[in-house]
Amino acid sequence: MILAEIGKFLGNKVATAIIFIAAVAGGIWCYQHPEHVKTFGHGMKMVLFWLVAVAALPWSSYLFMKPMLQFQAKSLSTNGATIMSIALIGAYCLIDIVLAFYWGDWIGSGTFTWIVLFLGFLAAGTYNFIICESLARHADG
């Protein structure tokens, strides 16, 4: 029992020292390389802009959801209504993708970057679908 307590105490102190040294080393590196910090900050700002745009875009369909559903019910077959709904969600996804590449200066290098982009686009498409379906259910009822 006493050895376990000593191990926890020493492990705690060692972990604290490692974290402190890493934080100091990171601070020194940031002080010596302000251009990298500025570039990283700009990238994070663009990511946040994209996330806000992705979050807000499908909510714009609130403005025309009820008329669109009425048009689908009166004028289109079931397949036509499905295609129109998929086209709306696809348009939102396309806008999300174009904004990401535009704000990213049309570059994407490295496997990790492409994986993150793909996962971001997949998450944005899922979000678009969920919000549009939710708005359609509320507009229909």
- Kindly report, residue by residue over 95-119, the tens digit of the pLDDT: 999 998 888 777 767 788 788 888 9
- 4-25 burial, b at 16+ Cβ within 10 Å, e below that, comes to eeeeeeeeeeeeeeeeeeeeee
pLDDT tens digits along 71-96: 888 887 888 888 888 999 999 999 99
Q: Mean pLDDT over residues 124-129, rounded?
A: 91
pLDDT at 52: 92
pLDDT at 141: 62
Q: Mean pLDDT over residues 21-49, rounded?
A: 83
Q: What percent of the chain has pLDDT over 70?
A: 98
- Check whether 53 has a pLDDT greater than 90: yes
